[in-house]
Amino acid sequence: MSKHMTRKATRHVNQNEGLIFEKSSPGKAAWKLPPLDVPDVDTSKLLGSFERKTLGNMPEVSEIEIIRHFTRLSTWNYAIDLGMYPLGSCTMKYNPRVNEVVSRLDGIANGHPYQPEKISQGALRIIKTLSDCLLEITGMDAITLQPAAGAHGEFTGLLMVRAHHESKGTARKKILIPDSAHGTNPATAAMVGYAVENLKSNSKGMVEIAALQSQMNEDVAALMLTNPNTLGIFEQEIHKVADILHAKGGLLYMDGANMNALVGKVRPGELGVDVMHLNLHKTFSTPHGG
């Protein structure tokens, strides 16, 4: 990379901030309360053995040092106002700000996984409603909202593929990937520990059925089909592709990152797709990383 490119690639973010502990010096304090007109409380009675005798290793800094430190750190947060997002990069580059406002609502942004169920009902309802809608749209049987992006969804999906085969007593070795697939597909397969085998497209830019027939065997765990594929073409013989895989115990994975092109037209679950992911930050314009 040239000097010029390095400068350009890093100019949005300033990461020259040291630790707040490095600014600490004994006796410095950000704020001291003035004498208060309230009776003293015996804290040892209130807290018993939980009362701290010392504050331990805490930085001692002035108010302005704290403000500047955290303000500078906040510039490390990459934001759409600073540059292009590398997530969902190939289609949507801008998602409505109003969706970010919604995701920042207190009940959503401040929810905690260990929060008692009783006070998590609103969040659980959102999760359930969203899951039901996505199942209706995709025609699949079950869903997880855990993965944070497309490639993460692929990784989760392929771990499920592997678990499926292991439960049948054989892990299988390969994933078939058409040459029109999205680049994250072979990367995911390799990360899950599979060998990647390339599958040629036909003259129309779709999966070449004859090639699939000859390459499919009991070593193949799944085929990862990007639809519409990276050439922008809709695969037309998905039923056939699914049948060929299923006949030899393989699974059909669909990369549904660009499901916006299919919503309301066709449900992948009815095409014979076994596992798929959606990019909510693309098809449904949620904030990135959803």
Minimum gap (Å) between residue 4 Cβ and ligand PLP: 27
Binding of ligand PLP by 286 (CB under 6 A) = no
- From the list 150, 157, 178, 287, which residue makes contact with ligand PLP (rule: CB under 6 A)? 150
**Residues 141/135, Cβ–Cβ less than 8 Å:** yes
What is the C-alpha to C-alpha distance for residues 276 and 290, in angstroms, rounded to an integer?
Answer: 16
In terms of Cβ atoms closer than 10 Å to its own Cβ (0-12, 13-18, 19+), residue 99 is: middle
Number of shown-chain residues binding ligand PLP (CB under 6 A): 15
Minimum gap (Å) between residue 166 Cβ and ligand PLP: 25
- From the list 138, 201, 258, 286, which residue makes contact with ligand PLP (rule: CB under 6 A)? 258
Buried b vs exposed e over 273-285: b needs ≥16 C-beta within 10 Å?
A: bbbbbbbbbbbbb
Q: Locate tokens 């056939």: which residue?
A: 240
Binding of ligand PLP by 192 (CB under 6 A) = no
- From the list 89, 103, 121, 217, which residue makes contact with ligand PLP (rule: CB under 6 A)? 89
Q: Which range touches ligand PLP (CB under 6 A), out of 97-105, 118-126, 131-139, 144-152?
A: 144-152
What is the C-alpha to C-alpha distance for residues 256 and 235, in angstroms, rounded to an integer?
Answer: 12
Binding of ligand PLP by 87 (CB under 6 A) = yes
Minimum gap (Å) between residue 266 Cβ and ligand PLP: 17
Minimum gap (Å) between residue 234 Cβ and ligand PLP: 13
Minimum gap (Å) between residue 271 Cβ and ligand PLP: 17
> Measured at CB, which residue is nearest to ligand PLP?
150
Query: Closest CB to ligand PLP among 95 and 184?
Result: 184
- From the list 61, 134, 140, 151, which residue makes contact with ligand PLP (rule: CB under 6 A)? 151
Q: Which range touches ligand PLP (CB under 6 A), out of 72-80, 168-176, 252-260, 266-274?
A: 252-260
- From the list 95, 138, 180, 184, which residue makes contact with ligand PLP (rule: CB under 6 A)? 184
Q: Which range touches ligand PLP (CB under 6 A), out of 26-34, 56-64, 86-94, 260-268?
A: 86-94
- From the list 161, 174, 182, 262, which residue makes contact with ligand PLP (rule: CB under 6 A)? 182
Residues found near ligand PLP in the complex (CB under 6 A):
87-91, 149-151, 182, 184, 226, 255, 257-258, 279
